[in-house]
Homo-oligomer: A and B are copies of this chain.
Amino acid sequence: MNQQGKHISDIPSYVKDLARNARKAAVKLMRVDTAQKNNALTVVKQLLDERRNKIQSMNKLDLDNARENGLSQSMIDRLELNDKRIDGMIQSLDDLIKLNDPVGEILKSSVRPNGMKIEKIRVPIGVIGIIYESRPNVTVDAASLCLKTGNATILRGGKEAIHSNKVLTDILQDALSLAGLPRESVQLIETTDRTAVGELITQNEFIDLIIPRGGESLIRRVVKESTIPVIKHYNGVCHLYADKDIDEKQARKIIINAKVQRPGVCNALETLLVHEAIAETFIPDICADLTQKGVEIRGDEKTKTLYPNSIAATEDDWYAEYLDLILSVKVVKNLEEAVTHIETYGSRHSDGILTNNIDTAKEFLISVDSAVVFHNVSTRFSDGGQFGMGAEIGISTDKLHARGPMGLEELTSYKYVVTGDGQIRE
C-alpha cells in the first residue's frame, strides 16, 4: 500500500460493495442493545492501548510521506499519533461509553380516539458516510459516535493519513468481531482515488447520510454531486456586535477571548461590529488590547480613522474566515445595520451581541438567523462539549435535521410505532 492506498481495479463495484455491506450491518446494528455497543467500544479502547506500536509504525509511514511531500509543519502535527493522542482517543472512548444511548427513547406517545397507540421512537439513522481530511484520530472518534448510536459508517479519510486510518480501522473491526458485532459496521475506503468519493456520495440505495468535514471545496463538491442527504459543516464567519449600551470592561474581555483564545477554530471571532455611539472610545481601546495580543486589525473607514494602526478592510474581509490572529472591525449605525451585515456576510454559524440592554439583546437574538446566538458570552462556547453533549461529531451550518453542535441525538432518526387491536379506516 502506498499513498494511493490499496490498488483497486473497479472502484464503482468496490464502493458499492462497501455500501451494500454497510447496509447489512446497519440492519443488524438497529437491534443491538446499549450494553453490546458499549462492550465493543471497550474492546476498541483495549486494542488501541495494546497496539500502540503497530499504530505508531503505520503512522510513521504517513509522517515520512508527509515530510517527503513537503507538507507544512502544522499539517504534520495534525497527522501525528503520538502517545498523548492515543491516550486522548482512549479517554474519549471512556467518556462516550458513559454517555446515555439515545436509541430507543420514546419522543412522543399518544392514544388516538379510535384506541390505537402511536409512539415516536428514536432509532439509528442507518448508514453514514464520513468524508474527512488529515487528522487520523477522527477515524476513531467519528466511527465510535456512530457505533454508539447504532449506525454503520463508511469512512473516507485524507490520503496523507491512509496508513494510520487503515490500522485504526483494523482495530475497530477486530473489536467489533470480538464483541460479536458485524465487522462491516465500520469500513474504510482503502483507496485514495478521488473517484471513490463520487461513487460514495451516489449510493443513495444504501447510505442514509453523508457528513463532509473538510475544506470548502470538498464540501461544495459533495453538495453538488451527492444524491444522499448531506449535513454540512461550513465556515464559521462569527460576529460580535458591541452595542451602545455596553459594559465596556466585560465586552473587551469577551472579544479578546473570542478572537485570541484559539483563533484556528470555527467558533473563533472574525468580525467585530461596533455601534457608532461608542465607537470613538471603544474602538481605540479594544483595538489596542487586540494589537497587544498580536491581532491584526482590518477596519472600515471609520475604524481606520479612530485607530490608524489598522489596515483598510476590503469587501473580501467581511466574508473572511481568517482562522488566524486577524480581525475585521466595522462601525455600524444601529442594531439593524449590524443584523443586516451579519445576514449579508455571515455564515449562520455563531454570532453574538454585547449589551446591557435586554430589549436590544432580545431583538438581536430573534433577528439573527444563526445556529447559535449569544448574549454577553464568548462565541467560543459554540461547541458540543461546552453545551454538555459530551461528544460532538461537528457543528452543522445546515438548518435541516441538525443545526449547530451535533452530538449523539443528532446522529439518530425516529420511527412511528402504531399498535392497536384491529383498527381500520372508515
Q: Report A's interface with B, CB cutoff 8 A.
A: 27, 30-31, 110, 112, 116, 118, 123, 125-126, 204, 208-209, 223-224, 227, 229-231, 247, 250, 253-254, 257-258, 261-262, 343, 352, 361, 365-367, 369-378, 380-382, 386-388, 398-401, 403-405, 413-425
Cβ-defined partner of A418 (8 Å) among B227, B262, B374, B413: B374
Contacts of A387 in B (CB 8 A): 112, 118, 416
CA distance A420 to B372 in the complex (A): 13
Taking the closest CB of chain B, its distance from the CB of A340, in whole angstroms, is 9
Instruction: Tell whether, in the assembled complex, residue A366 and residue B30 are in contact, meaning their CB atoms are under 8 Å apart.
Output: yes
Contacts of A424 in B (CB 8 A): 253-254, 257-258, 261, 378, 380
Q: Can you report 16 A-B residue pairs in the complex whose CB atoms are below 8 A from each other?
A: A27-B343, A116-B377, A123-B369, A125-B399, A209-B400, A223-B227, A229-B398, A253-B422, A373-B418, A376-B419, A377-B423, A378-B425, A382-B416, A382-B418, A400-B401, A403-B416
Asked whether A415 and B378 contact (CB < 8 A) given A30-B366, A424-B261, the answer is: no
CA distance A369 to B370 in the complex (A): 33
Determine how many copies of this chain the complex contains: 2
User: What is the predominant secondary structure among interface residues of chain A facing chain B?
Assistant: mixed
CA distance A209 to B399 in the complex (A): 9
Instruction: Tell whether, in the assembled complex, residue A386 and residue B208 are in contact, meaning their CB atoms are under 8 Å apart.
Output: no
Contacts of A367 in B (CB 8 A): 27, 30-31
CA distance A403 to B401 in the complex (A): 10
